[in-house]
Amino acid sequence: MNPQLKAELVRLFKRAEGRYGPAFFHALDEVAACPAYRTSPGEVAELLDTEILDGVGQLYRKERTK
């Protein structure tokens, strides 16, 4: 895994302070779209669940499929 990607996800997660609303999901979208990370929303969701906090990635997936 890209260490910069993980660091960015950790930073966003800490900044959200448990408030996983539109601003948090928008920030995740921007990370997923960033060419430097070469990732996708699905990969971001998986990393959130496996590396950050299980369930946060599921929330992101659910938000993206609305």
Q: What is the 3-state secondary structure (H, E, C) of 33-62?
A: HCCCCCCCHHHHHHHHHHHHCCCHHHHHHH
For 20-55, write each residue's pLDDT tens digit: 999 999 999 999 999 999 999 999 999 999 999 999
Return the pLDDT at 1: 65
Please give the model's pTM, rounded to 2 decimal places.
Answer: 0.88
Nearest-angstrom CA–CA distance, 46 and 41: 9
Q: Residue 12: is its pLDDT beyond 90?
A: yes
Return the pLDDT at 4: 92
